């Protein structure tokens, strides 16, 4: 799990840097409309940090799947999506000066929340495994 996190973080820091600073080049591969490129880039700036934290989250999910904790993986995924990501994205979208950058931050927040949940479950699982 920790090796996966390290490898993932190394690659994803490069991806984050490219997306955050040159995301407009990425979106320009799909369209030539300046307004669409700018709005896509605005969303990607909010979403960019999520590329880093998913390295941690996905490594934890893989660890739990490997320990036959697939029910937990499903539950934490549903909690992140239904209780954090969707409500926060909606809330950000109804603000007076809503921006795609802020809406993109809902993904980061949900993933960070998932990491916190998974850290708690990791310690619970370690305690359970050590007792066995």
**Averaged pLDDT for residues 11-39:** 93
pLDDT > 80? residue 132 = no
Q: What is the pLDDT of residues 67-123, one digit of tens each?
A: 999 999 999 999 999 999 999 999 999 999 999 888 888 999 999 999 999 999 999
pLDDT of residue 122: 97
pLDDT of residue 34: 95
Positive or negative CA dihedral for 80, 47, 58, 10?
A: negative
Contact criterion met (CB below 8 Å) for 2 and 9: no
pLDDT of residue 47: 83
Predicted structure pTM score: 0.83
Q: Show the DSSP H helices in the chain as ranges.
A: 2-27, 34-47, 50-66, 70-78, 86-93, 100-131
């Amino acid at each position: 799990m920790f090796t996966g996190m390290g490898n993932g973080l190394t690659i994803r820091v490069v991806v984050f840097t490219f997306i955050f600073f040159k995301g407009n080049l990425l979106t320009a591969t799909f369209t030539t409309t300046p307004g669409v490129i700018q709005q896509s880039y605005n969303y990607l700036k909010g979403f960019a940090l999520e590329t880093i934290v998913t390295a941690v989250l996905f490594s934890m999910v893989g660890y739990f799947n490997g320990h036959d904790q697939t029910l937990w993986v499903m539950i934490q995924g549903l909690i992140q999506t239904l209780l954090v990501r969707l409500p926060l994205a909606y809330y950000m979208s109804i603000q007076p000066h809503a921006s795609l950058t802020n809406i993109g931050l809902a993904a980061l927040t949900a993933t960070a929340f998932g990491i916190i949940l998974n850290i708690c479950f990791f310690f619970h699982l370690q305690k359970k495994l050590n007792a066995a």
